[in-house]
Amino acid sequence: MLASIGLAIGFLAILTLLLAILLVFAERRILNYGPCTLDINDGKKSLTVTGGSSLLSSLAENDIFIPSACGGRGSCAYCKVQVLDGGGMVGPVEEPYLTPEDIKANVRLSCQVKVRRDITLAIPDELFLAKRFQGKLVHKRKLTYDMVELRIALNNPESIEFAAGQYIQLESQEYAGRDAVMRAYSISSIPSDNRHVEVIIRKVPEGICTTWVFDHLQEGQDVYLSGPFGDFKLSDSKAPAVFLAGGSGMAPIWSILRDMRERGDDREAIYFFSGRNQDDLFFTEELFALEKELPNFSYVPCLTREDPDSDWKGERGRIPAVLPKYIPDTTAYEAYLCGSSNLIDACVDAMKQRGLQEPNIFYDKFE
């Protein structure tokens, strides 16, 4: 009895072991492509990698982080890069994610491109500077009824270099059958606090990432993000600046303003923030306090639906209607806008009518 059980177990163990060894050996021999060269952006960077793994992971091994939320399964389509030569045929997994324009421009999902030979590819320059960070959520603070602030302490790498106004991609983790996704959030902390990243997140009903942040993410939990990305930042000119934001559009401006205070940038600046009523306002005291520290700065919160009988002494009405009272002529101004596309479009129109020049408009639109 015992002998036959032993025989059965032994036989199975030996058989599976043999097959496993055979497969490992076969993989080494058959799928060995030797060293391959990755030529990035016309010779700007050249990497030698061991062939056989995906382009995404080969690049990541060399500290070039292409955004990817699904971990290389080919289901998020964030990891698109231009593969100019050596990428092979478009595979059936990536095909549904590529538009006809993508295919024309040789855009591929880098997680589905296997490095089998030398590859020539093109990636946006900012990705060279972006990194993937592992950090820990140290603080989750409620700002308003639908807004939270996350403070993340960076562990690996330990510090981030960014310009105030740039954004990061936050990776949500799988929960309740929802896939991991990546969502962009502007950094609300200041560049000198380079061991931390803060973001402001507004709850989107049914939003995959925001639901994760609001209902699942706990203080002390590990979080992953990559960045910095984006070119929304304060220009080097000394031109007077008008900032406009609504909701979580506060984040980059909050970072820019406090960065100005640190650098002693005393350019003329005025900040219009849009909310429906007083419940939508946050950082109000801090922003009015900034008026004292930045000599030429003023903060103008504008409420559109505030109860007419309330104690609110500030502006009532939409920003495009309030703005001319403060700035009759916007010709000399630079405008920095962050918020929903409705808000931005309306404000840009109003300011253009008063002389704002197209090249001086900078915005970060939420889709």
**Terminal Cα-to-Cα distance of the chain (whole angstroms):** 69
For other proteins, which is the closer residue by CB, 27 or 279?
Answer: 27
CA–CA separation, 360 and 336 (whole Å): 8
For other proteins, which is the closer residue by CB, 116 or 267?
Answer: 116
CB of 79 to other proteins, least distance (A): 19
CA–CA separation, 114 and 96 (whole Å): 18
For residue 313, the SS3 value is coil
Q: What are phi and psi of 92, to 5 degrees?
A: -70, -25
Contact 300, 327 (CB under 8 A): no
Contact 198, 149 (CB under 8 A): yes
Contact 294, 259 (CB under 8 A): no
Q: Which residues contact 357 (CB under 8 A, 6 or more apart)?
A: 331
CB of 123 to other proteins, least distance (A): 23
CB of 106 to other proteins, least distance (A): 16
CB of 31 to other proteins, least distance (A): 6
**Strand 147-156 versus strand 196-202 pairing type:** antiparallel
For other proteins, which is the closer residue by CB, 114 or 140?
Answer: 114
For other proteins, which is the closer residue by CB, 12 or 138?
Answer: 12
For other proteins, which is the closer residue by CB, 36 or 213?
Answer: 36
CB of 87 to other proteins, least distance (A): 11
Beta bridge mates, 178? 175
**Strand 45-50 versus strand 107-109 pairing type:** unpaired
For other proteins, which is the closer residue by CB, 6 or 157?
Answer: 6
Residue ranges in contact with other proteins by CB under 8 A? 4, 7-8, 11-12, 15-16, 19-20, 22-23, 26-27, 30-31, 88-89, 91-93, 116
For other proteins, which is the closer residue by CB, 30 or 176?
Answer: 30
CB of 85 to other proteins, least distance (A): 15
CB of 76 to other proteins, least distance (A): 18
CA–CA separation, 53 and 51 (whole Å): 6
